């Protein structure tokens, strides 16, 4: 899977990238619950983050964060990085389809 290959070569780099994605989901949650963009970690993505926050459910965000956390812990514990990332990406895509994100396609 090409996207999983784009996550970087070493374990530390991969963990950092998962943390960046987790922080973006934190921004989505912040916008969903507080409608406040002043505290975003990623203000450069505010428009996309706002759109995403309007289309995903709270449970979808929480499940996505759980998926990211599981992948992080697995890679931290030396699981196969490629398989872990592919599984994470498939689970996030499934959550997008089942937790209110099917309408957001671009």
Q: If phi over 0 gives left and psi between -120 and 50 gives alpha, with beta otherwise, what is residue 100? A: left
Which pTM value belongs to this model? Answer: 0.84
User: Mean pLDDT across the stretch 41-58?
Assistant: 91
Lowest-confidence segment of 5-19, 54-68, 90-104 by average pLDDT: 90-104
What DSSP character marks residue 45?
G
Residue whose pair of structure tokens reads 């934190």 in the numeric block? 26
Scored b (16 or more CB within 10 A) or e, 58-96 reads eebbebbbebbeebbebbeeebebeebbbbbbebbeebb
Lowest-confidence segment of 8-17, 65-74, 97-106 by average pLDDT: 97-106
């Amino acid at each position: 899977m090409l996207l999983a290959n784009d996550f970087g070569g070493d374990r530390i780099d991969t963990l950092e990238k998962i943390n960046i994605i987790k922080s973006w989901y934190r921004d989505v949650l912040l916008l969903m619950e507080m409608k406040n963009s002043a505290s975003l970690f990623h203000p450069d993505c505010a428009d996309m983050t706002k759109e995403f926050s309007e289309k995903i459910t709270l449970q979808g965000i929480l499940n996505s964060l759980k998926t990211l956390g599981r992948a992080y812990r697995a890679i931290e514990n030396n699981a196969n990085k490629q398989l872990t990332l592919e599984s994470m990406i498939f689970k996030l895509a499934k959550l997008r389809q089942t937790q209110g994100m099917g309408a957001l396609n671009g």
